[in-house]
Structure 1
Amino acid sequence: MKRTSKEVAESYARVSRRGMILGGLQLGFVGLLGLRMRHMQVDQADEFRLLAEENRINLRLIPPSRGQIFDRNGRIIAANEPAYRITMVREDAEDVDAVMARLAELVELGPDDIERARAEMARSAPFLPVTVADRVSWEAVSRVAVNAPALPGVVPEVGLSRVYPDRETFAHVVGYVGPVSERDLARYEDPEPVLRIPRFQIGKVGVERNYEEQLRGRAGAKRVEVNAVGRVMRELDRREGEAGSDVQLTLDSDLQNYVQARLGEESASVVVMDLEHGDLLAIASAPSYDPNKFVRGISVADYSVYRENERRPLASKTVQDAYPPGSTFKMVTALAAMDAGVVSPNDTVWCPGHMTVSGRRFHCWKRVGHGHMNLELSLRESCDVYYYDLALKVGIEKIAETARRLGLGEVHGIPMSAVTEGLIPDKEWKLRNRDAPWVVGDTVNSSIGQGFVLSSPLQQAVMTARLATGRAISPRLVKSVDGIETPRDPGEPMGFNENHLRQLRQAMFSVSNNRRGTAYGSRIIDDGMRMAGKTGTSQVRNITAAERARGVVRNEDLPWKRRDHALFVNFAPYEQPQIAVSVVVEHGGGGSAAAAPIARDVTLQALYKGDPPLEAYPTKDRDRIREQQQRLAEEREDKMRDGRSRA
């Protein structure tokens, strides 16, 4: 059917309107797209450029160089050395076991090393390098480089690692570093990212741990270009970090080396303290251990040797262990009694060899007794009954107060691990900790440094320093950090009567210089270097009445662990004191026989700043001392030469 002209016109009009609507819609949509594209390309260009850059570039940390540790004279005692290591990238190696087996033929790899490397690979991304062997020799690196085609994914690298040239000499003071563990991370509320770098080393014990923040430094950073799966393609730029601060200790390397050699394999400790500002010149425990073994990751076999040694080489006996101070505590009891006005230096007490208190007999070490004793005689000959009598007159509270003023029962703030507080007991302490009242027998035992009383060799040195100076002198171990001197405190006067202190010093002088003194055999002959000291013997076992009746077994006839501890404290020179020394020899027997000779030798070595002349020793000792000096000098030289060569 043919449409009319009118119908054709109407149909055309409808089509035109629809086309215009559709065209308008299309034009609007294209316009919106254009506006959106302009907004993204112009207005948001910087934001999208940053996102693209972050996808293409990674920021990676550069471990900082650890600060070094020096002695008071600038000798290095903890250093950094270039260390070669072998790393492996798991995805490049493909067959890890096969590559590891070939690598083991070129580089010494133990089962522990292989297992540790596999464990790290399992935790790490496949494209990240994992250390397989650390601190390998240049020869081993060369062998790996020559065989590189047969070792896909294996790369030799060089970095810095900690080394302790003197090995055992400073182990208990400086400590050591090791890889960061989960336990280490738990110490920090918000651990720094650098701590998560594989095998990054931080301080574990000693100065290394206590000065970790200063020694660690600040990490650097580098920008690297990576591909889509995160593999490094090239390094774009780097910013080096800040090296850690250097730490200088107050210790004297020569003296510390001598002390360590003099102690030998004894289970013993020595503290030497300067009396001007409290600087620790030597603080040594024996036997010791090699901290370098811990840096590399100590083997089970080596650790078992240390752990199973009954003389406990891993223990820092100078600050960690607390012993009954024995007769070295008698100065505390005497000073407390004089300060309270209950006794004068010339008052005498009769010693028949024992004292009965509340139906219990307390014995003097001399079975037949000492007779009439005053302050000087009692300290010179170490009469116990004299101090039993003083303690009953003055009471435990005054004794405890005096002990604390002299530095006992106090944690001295030096950066070593597990510094003990020791124990100065009183009535409140026993009720709180033992749920029992204090009895008079406790006071009697405490008067001669037995019972509950405990002190460390460091505390004994502090006590002696305060008696020698009359000042509340405190120990200082760190001399400076990055060249900035740490505060020095000469100590305020303690407020004791100077005449009482003078009387005690005179009595201590008699101990070492009177023929009847308990340390006369270890005296110093040089008039300008004479020392004033006090012997001590602390029991580690109870002596029964039956044993006393048939005769007390001599220390040398007992098993080592049942022998008494031997102690000695002294200051020197007597006229113008410069140093205080404390010595503890575990299970050494008597203080006069085991501890006093060591203290005398160390004192002379410190005062002369080297081997003293033989004329400073008694004539009868000179041949033995000459041989001892030669032997110790050879041992020290061998150790230092070996340590330096390793470094």
Structure 2
Amino acid sequence: MRRNPRELEQLNRVSSRRALLLAGVQLAFVGGLAMRMRYLQVEQADQFRLLAEENRVNIRLIPPTRGKIFDRNGNVLAQNVQSYRIVIVREDAGDVERVLADLSELIPLDPEDLERARAEMQRSPPFLPVSLADRISWEDISKVAVNAPALPGITPEVGLTRVYPRGADFAHVVGYVGPVSDYDLSKIEDPEPVLRIPRFQIGKVGLEAKREVMLRGKAGAKRVEVNATGRVMRELDRREGQPGADLQLSVDADLQGYVQARLGSESASAVVIDCETGDLRAISSSPSFDPNLFVRGISVTDYRTLTEDIHRPLASKTVQGLYPPGSTFKMITAMAALEEGLIGPEDTVWCPGYLEVSGRRFHCWKRGGHGHLNLEGSLKQSCDVYFYDLALKVGIDKISAMAQQFGLGIHHDVPMSAVASGLAPDRAWKKRVHGAEWLIGDTANAAIGQGYMLASPMQLAVMTARLATGRDLTPRLIKSIDGIEQPSHGGAPLGVNENNLRTLRKAMYAVSNDRRGTAYGSRIIEDAFRMAGKTGTSQVRNITTAERAAGVTRNADLPWNRRDHALFVCFAPYDKPKYAVSVVVEHGGGGSSVAAPVGRDVMLQALYGDTPPLAAYPSKDRSRIKAQQDRLHRERLRVQQEQSGRA
């Protein structure tokens, strides 16, 4: 079929457009291919040349800078400082033992560090550096640098290490860091890659462990060129990580230091809590330890010394220690009875020195008894029989519920290690745990804080603060994170009768300010700072009938670990509570003679913010207090000089 000229012309135009389009596509493809080939062959020539020589590019993590920790006034509690260290690369050293011997001639090397380094070299690739000595002096670094040609494989390095300037003062609060171990990794479901960096450190105990992720930050990364054996040839680029958050604590470092010094060598603990905010102003456990020893690995000798000490310096007694609260619990028994309307403030109970319960005598601490006592008199003189009688009327379940309402037997979410919940037992608890029925004698024991009842010093401080304020106050340890203030926990009203609280506060005031009060000897004279408190002495052994008949053995005549615990709780000022304090002295004996003086001194130091004037103390004690203040001042100066050396 013949086409007319017009159709042929149109067909030629369409074919020409298609040919041009196809040619354009082909040209673009060839042009793009040529540009890509030029990019690969010219601009990336060096990189591919190295790859052709069996080199490769690796991504390596950059450890983040750990966040700092401060006290409420900005004093540094944990920081990162530059430290000098000596490392060895096994493949460069050749004869490792000869090099180590030569190095030992120049600088002192710890034998334990050398053994650890040898073990690490055996399990690490030969090109990875292994630390031989850490935190060494500039003079030693200079010696190594000058003799570098004679020390193959040895390199001085500058890095960051964790330092705790306040040392033992905050060991139980802040804790410490240490190298990541296999055990640490086994506890983490999906460990971050940064945790596998050689010698990377994480929090082991205390706040360092509880806020590890927050303090650690995020790792950076760098691209490095390595050869076929894995040795780094050069760094190609890097992306810095995100540093950890800085934490500011509610604790006052100066007050904390004073409390540590005041507790001295006793196996004891003390807690100071702000009655307005719930801030923990001091939370001290004695004896303590230097957390800096753990940062790079504590020696076997030092660790054995700590673990074999019967006063348990590694334990944070303020939150881990659980003790029968003894007579400091009597306010809870009284509150339970008052709230149930079973007694009035002026109702009396006869105390002949014991109460007969189901054929068994429950004794008062005063063998001859106290006679007729009302609520104030029973707390003032710490009569046991009065509270036995109350407990039998109100029952253990109501007492247990009241204890929990005031912060006992519950877990307080404070970021410290092994925070214990304590125990406020009831009938259901004994049935569940011991498979036995609750006995009336159990109630009598619980009434005076004995038997199954257990509380930590921090819980006792919370209980006292709630009695003082009538609010559901809870403890706060972290004040701010990266400068952002965290919620305080002043709390809502507890929902108990305010008149009943006033009755108990008035009785606690009499304990410290009435001549017959058990804490009268440790009273505060300054009218503006008058203190209300309660002493306690909790037994750790059973007193047999024969011993009671012959006369109870004095604490001073018993082995240390069989003596009673001494306790004291208080708040001040009485008319406008600012702080609540709890003190527990393990196996200290009497709360009146041992714990109450410590509690009074700590309270005055907190109220004045510095060394209290002697006029705040009873006149007969002032010469002794002056000598004590001078001794503690000298001790604090010595400690501060040591702390300055660490910083």
So what's the TM-score if we normalise by structure 1? 0.92
Match of 2:73 in 1: 73
Aligned to 2:413: 413
Match of 2:471 in 1: 471
Corresponding residue number in structure 1 for 2:616: 616
Alignment of 1:404-553 (within 5 A): 404-553=404-553
The letter for the 2-side match of 1:434 is H
- 1:209-231 alpha-carbon deviations (Å, 9 max, x no partner): 11111111122222222223222
Whether the 8 Å contact between 1:511 and 1:520 is mirrored in structure 2 is: yes
1:617 Cα shift? 0.3
| Distance across 1 between alignment mates of 2:57 and 2:131 | 24
Is it true that 1:122 corresponds to 2:135 in the alignment? Answer: no
Moved more, 268-277 or 133-142: 133-142
Q: Counterpart in 1 of 2:558?
A: 558
Q: Determine the C-alpha separation between the residues in 2 that align with 1:189 and 1:485.
A: 31
* Aligned position for 2:167: 167
Q: What is the CA distance between 1:142 and its match in structure 2?
A: 1.2
Counterpart secondary structure, 2:437: coil
Who is 1:396 aligned against?
A: 396
Q: Match for 2:76: what amino acid?
A: I
Show the counterpart of 1:86: 86
Contact 1:273 1:461 survives alignment (8 Å): yes
Q: Which secondary structure does the structure 2 equivalent of 1:189 belong to?
A: coil
Task: Between 635-644 and 397-406, report the one with greater CA deviation.
Answer: 635-644
Once the two structures are TM-superposed, the CA of residue 191 in structure 1 deviates from its matched residue by 1.3
Deviation at 1:42, TM superposition (A): 6.1
> Which residue is 1:350 aligned to?
350
Work out whether 1:156 is the aligned partner of 2:156: yes
Alignment map for 1:49-60 (pairs within 5 Å): 52=51, 55-60=55-60
AA in 2 matched with 1:464: T
Deviations 1:381-401 (A, max 9, x none): 000000000001000000000
Answer whether contact 2:475 2:489 (CA < 8 A) is retained: no
SS of the residue 2:318 aligns to: coil
Whole-angstrom CA distance in 2 between matches of 1:643 and 1:42: 64
CA distance, structure 2, for counterparts of residue 108 and residue 505 of structure 1: 62
* Structure 2 Cα separation of the partners of residues 354 and 224 of structure 1: 81
Q: Which amino acid aligns with 2:158?
A: V
Relative to structure 1, is the Cα distance of residues 356 and 43 closer, same or farther in structure 2, using a 3 angstrom cutoff?
farther
Question: How far apart, CA to CA, are the structure 1 residues paired with 2:548 and 2:320?
Answer: 34
The alpha carbon displacement at 1:161 in A equals 0.3
Tell me which residue corresponds to 2:239.
239
Q: Within 1, Cα distance between the matches of 2:61 and 2:156?
A: 20
State the shift of 1:413 in Å.
Answer: 0.4
**Counterpart position of 1:98:** 98
Contact 1:605 / 1:611 at 8 angstroms: preserved in 2?
Answer: yes
CA distance in 1, matches of 2:218, 2:576: 46
Higher alpha-carbon deviation: 196-205 or 48-57 = 48-57
Name the Cα RMSD after superposition: 2.0
Q: Which residue of structure 1 aligns with residue 360 of structure 2?
A: 360
Asked if 2 retains the 8 angstrom alpha-carbon contact of 1:380 and 1:508, the reply is yes
- The Cα of 1:124 is off from its aligned counterpart by 1.7
Letter in 2 for 1:409: G
Pairwise CA distance, 1:428: 0.9
Aligned-residue offset at 1:45: 7.0
Percentage identity across paired residues of the two chains? 67
**Deviation, structure 1 residue 180:** 0.5
* Counterpart residue number, 2:590: 590
Cα distance in 2 for residues equivalent to 1:231 and 1:392: 78
Distance 1:44 1:439 in 2: 89
CA distance in 2, matches of 1:235, 1:131: 22
Q: Distance in 2 between matches of 1:183 and 1:226?
A: 31
Partner residue in 1 for 2:303 = 303
The whole-number CA distance in structure 2 between the counterparts of 1:198 and 1:103 is 23
1:338 aligns to what?
338
| Distance in 2 between residues matched to 1:374 and 1:567, nearest whole Å | 23
Report the secondary structure of 2:571's partner residue: strand
Instruction: Give the corresponding residue for 1:16.
Output: none
* Deviation string, structure 1 residues 70-94 (Cα, Å, up to 9, x no partner): 0000000111111111111111011
Residue matched to 2:288? 288
Partners of 1:482 and 1:356 in 2: how far apart?
60
Which is worse superposed, 225-234 or 130-139?
Answer: 225-234
Q: What's 1:216 paired with?
A: 216
Q: What is the DSSP-based 3-state SS (H/G/I as helix, E as strand, rest coil) of the residue aligned with 2:511?
A: helix
* 1:380 has 2:383 as partner: no
**1:273 aligned onto 2:273:** yes
Question: Which stretch has the larger CA shift, 312-321 or 236-245?
Answer: 236-245
Which amino acid is 2:524 matched to? I
Per mean C-alpha deviation after superposition, the further-off stretch among 190-199 and 327-336 is 190-199
Identify the residue that residue 182 of structure 1 maps to in structure 2.
Answer: 182
Bigger mean CA offset, 483-492 vs 366-375: 483-492
Point out where structure 1 has 5 or more consecutive residues left out of the alignment: 1-34
Indicate conservation of the 8 Å contact 2:337/2:343, yes or no: yes
The residue that corresponds to 1:11 in the other structure is none
> In terms of mean alpha carbon deviation, does 443-452 or 628-637 score higher?
628-637
- SS of the aligned residue for 1:580 comes to strand
The answer as to whether partners of 1:534 and 1:569 remain within 8 angstroms in 2 is yes
Please report how far the alpha carbon of residue 545 of structure 1 lies from its aligned counterpart in structure 2 after TM superposition.
0.6
Residue 256 of structure 2 corresponds to 256
Q: Secondary structure at the match of 1:319?
A: helix
Equivalent position of 2:27 in the other structure: none
Name the stretch that deviates more: 597-606 or 633-642.
633-642
Letter in 1 for 2:389: D
Q: Give the CA deviation at 1:533.
A: 0.3
Q: How far apart, CA to CA, are the structure 2 residues paired with 1:127 and 1:304?
A: 35
User: Retained in 1: the 8 A contact 2:55–2:225?
Assistant: no
Kindly indicate whether the alpha-carbon contact (under 8 Å) linking 1:285 and 1:318 is maintained by their aligned counterparts in 2. Answer: yes
Q: Do 1:319 and 1:458's aligned partners in 2 also have CA atoms closer than 8 Å? A: yes
How far apart are the structure 2 equivalents of 1:162 and 1:480?
21
Supply the distance in 1 between the matched residues of 2:255 and 2:646 (Cα, whole angstroms).
22
- Contact 1:165–1:640 (8 Å) recurs in 2: no
Q: Is the 8 A contact 2:223 2:237 kept in 1?
A: yes
What's the secondary structure of 2:317's corresponding residue?
A: coil
Residue equivalent to 2:11: none
Q: Matched residues in 2 for 1:264 and 1:557: separation? A: 22
Rounded Cα–Cα distance in structure 1 between residues aligned with 2:218 and 2:96: 35
Other structure's SS at 2:465 match: helix
1:533-590 CA distances to partner (integer Å, 9 max, x unpaired)? 0000000111111111111111111111111000000000001000000000001000
Aligned-partner Cα distance in 2 for 1:388–1:314:
37
Q: How much does 1:490 deviate?
A: 1.5
Residue equivalent to 1:636: 636
Residue 145 (structure 2) aligns with: 145
Q: Equivalents in 1 of 2:370, 2:173: separation in Å? A: 43
Partner SS for 1:318: helix
Query: Aligned-pair distance for 1:52?
Result: 4.5
**More displaced 10-residue stretch of structure 1: 97-106 or 195-204:** 97-106
Q: Distance in 1 between matches of 2:85 and 2:237?
A: 24
1:243 aligned partner, one-letter code:
P
Question: For residues 167 and 39 of structure 2, what CA distance do their matches in structure 1 show?
Answer: 61
How far apart, in 2, do the equivalents of 1:304 and 1:163 lie? Answer: 22
Q: Distance in 1 between matches of 2:136 and 2:220?
A: 25
1:179-216 CA distances to partner (integer Å, 9 max, x unpaired)? 01111112322211111111111100001011111111
